């Protein structure tokens, strides 16, 4: 597939030379500023073909700053080709960690075991929690309708005190979602907040905005992530709220640095939280990014107990990319 607009390296260099003097910050305070000339282009070949619905295309696009640039249009299936989905909810208070996923609370990813579910009233100090019944069974959403009615901010009252589990079989087959990422990341004048999607894993699945745990907990429900940090809703399909170790396809680095696991919506690479030695970088900025000579500017995800992989965007994202296209059908509440 040929792209309608292709930036040649010479053109990129020319653009860099023309604009670098005006946008590069030369003061000595703060971290070094990434300039266009040192930014690394997104490499579409790093995405797993099995997760894509077609070749990655280069298309013209407009950044939130109003600047026109070239983007990669990534049509993806939102189905992880490199690991299984689920399980999310144990069915009995006797089930162990293999029967459920994880739940983030206060920075810790808790195993959602039967015992964890049975202990929720104590865990949250609220006697209204009762996801389990006298016979030891656990209330779990078990239809697409129940999933849709529970996996939303205004949980259907009939589904309060349920463990919310939406199965892959509830989703329409062949759903394709398109994401635009700038081919060459550009640092924004100031970081922008996470309002929706954060980026893409190399399998094409999105790193989503934080799950609205306040609304989920207010209904005395849990919507666990599986052991790979993902779950499903009827609008977005499978998506990640956490990155757990060993699940995602990753690209090992020649040094001890944490492997690369995806790209943020601004085009900067996303790396795992920690390197081989388990140590997290200590010089991350407010967005969880930093710079080194080998990789340029890149991010490191937070631990899986945080319910937020990155904290903001350092670079420009595409206009509209922070919104969730398409919105929920008329009359339906916003999605989880
Ligand atoms: Zn979610
Ligand atoms: Zn790093």
pLDDT of residue 291: 95
**What b/e readout covers 241-252, taking b as 16+ CB neighbours within 10 angstroms?**
bbbbeebbbbee
Q: Among 111-125, 135-149, 150-164, where is mean pLDDT lowest?
A: 150-164
pLDDT of residue 126: 98
pLDDT at 329 over 60: no
**What are the tens digits of pLDDT across the range 167-186?**
999 998 888 999 999 999 99
Q: How confident is the model at residue 164 (pLDDT cuts 50, 70, 90)?
A: very high
pLDDT at 29 over 80: no
pLDDT at 324 over 60: no
How far is 90 from 165, CA to CA, in rounded Å?
A: 10
**What are the tens digits of pLDDT across the range 208-242?**
999 999 999 999 999 999 999 999 999 889 999 99
User: What is the distance in A from the centroid of ligand 2 to the CA of 43?
Assistant: 18
Q: How confident is the model at residue 279 (pLDDT cuts 50, 70, 90)?
A: confident
User: What is the distance in A from the centroid of ligand 2 to the CA of 8?
Assistant: 28
What pTM was estimated for this model as a whole?
0.85
**What are the tens digits of pLDDT across the range 8-21?**
334 333 333 333 33
Q: How confident is the model at residue 153 (pLDDT cuts 50, 70, 90)?
A: confident
User: What is the distance in A from the centroid of ligand 2 to the CA of 146?
Assistant: 42
User: What is the distance in A from the centroid of ligand 2 to the CA of 325?
Assistant: 31
**What are the tens digits of pLDDT across the range 236-254?**
899 999 999 889 999 999 9
User: What is the distance in A from the centroid of ligand 2 to the CA of 2?
Assistant: 34
Ligand nearest to the CA of 295: 2
The candidate with the shortest Cα–Cα distance to 270, out of 218, 197, 215, is: 197
Q: How confident is the model at residue 331 (pLDDT cuts 50, 70, 90)?
A: very low
Residue 38, classified by CB atoms within 10 Å of its CB into exposed (0-12), middle (13-18) or buried (19+), is: middle
pLDDT of residue 5: 39
pLDDT of residue 12: 37
Q: How confident is the model at residue 269 (pLDDT cuts 50, 70, 90)?
A: very high
**What are the tens digits of pLDDT across the range 55-104?**
999 999 999 999 999 999 999 998 999 999 999 999 999 999 999 999 99
pLDDT of residue 174: 80
How far is 39 from 297, CA to CA, in rounded Å?
A: 7
Angle at 34 between CA 67 and CA 198, to 5 degrees: 65
**What b/e readout covers 150-176, taking b as 16+ CB neighbours within 10 angstroms?**
bbbeebbeebbbbbbbbbeebbeeeee
SS percent in the chain: helix, strand, coil, step 5: 15, 25, 60
pLDDT at 191 over 90: yes
Which residues have CB under 8 Å from 330's CB, separation 6+?
Answer: none
Average pLDDT over residues 131-154: 94
**Average pLDDT score over the chain:** 87
Ligand nearest to the CA of 223: 1
Ligand nearest to the CA of 147: 1
User: What is the distance in A from the centroid of ligand 2 to the CA of 188?
Assistant: 19
Ligand nearest to the CA of 273: 2
pLDDT at 22 over 80: no
pLDDT of residue 322: 66
pLDDT at 305 over 80: yes
pLDDT at 158 over 50: yes
User: What is the distance in A from the centroid of ligand 1 to the CA of 296?
Assistant: 31
What is the percentage of the chain residues whose pLDDT exceeds 90? 76
């Amino acid at each position: 597939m040929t792209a309608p607009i292709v930036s040649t390296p010479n053109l990129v260099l020319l653009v860099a030379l023309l604009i670098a003097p005006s946008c590069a910050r030369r003061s000595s305070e703060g971290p070094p500023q990434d300039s266009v000339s040192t930014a690394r282009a997104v490499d579409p070949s790093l995405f797993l073909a099995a997760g894509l619905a077609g070749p990655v295309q280069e298309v013209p696009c407009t950044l939130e700053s109003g600047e026109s640039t070239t983007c990669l249009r990534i049509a993806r299936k939102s189905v992880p080709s490199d690991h299984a989905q689920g399980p999310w909810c144990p069915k009995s208070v006797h089930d162990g960690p293999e029967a459920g996923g994880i739940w983030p609370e206060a920075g810790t990813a808790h195993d959602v075991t039967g015992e964890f579910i049975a202990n929720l009233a104590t865990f949250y100090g609220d006697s209204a929690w009762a996801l389990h019944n006298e016979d030891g069974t656990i209330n779990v959403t078990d239809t697409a309708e129940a999933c849709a009615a529970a996996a939303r901010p205004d949980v259907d009252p009939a589904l309060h005190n349920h463990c919310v589990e939406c199965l892959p079989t509830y989703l329409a087959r062949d759903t394709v979602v398109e994401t635009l990422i700038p081919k060459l990341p550009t640092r924004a004048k100031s970081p922008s907040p996470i309002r929706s999607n954060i980026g893409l894993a190399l399998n094409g699945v999105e790193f989503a905005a934080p799950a609205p745990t306040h609304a989920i907990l207010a209904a005395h429900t849990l919507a666990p992530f599986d052991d790979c940090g993902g779950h499903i809703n009827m609008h977005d399909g499978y998506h990640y709220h956490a990155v757990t170790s060993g699940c995602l396809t990753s690209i090992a680095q020649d040094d001890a640095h944490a492997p690369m696991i995806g790209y943020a919506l601004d085009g900067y690479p996303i790396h795992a939280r920690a390197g081989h030695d388990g140590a997290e970088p200590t010089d991350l900025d407010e967005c969880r990014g930093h710079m080194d000579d080998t990789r340029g500017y890149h991010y490191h995800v937070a631990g899986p107990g945080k319910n937020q992989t990155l904290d903001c965007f350092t670079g420009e994202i595409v206009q509209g990319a922070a919104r969730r296209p398409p919105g929920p059908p008329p009359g339906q509440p916003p999605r989880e």
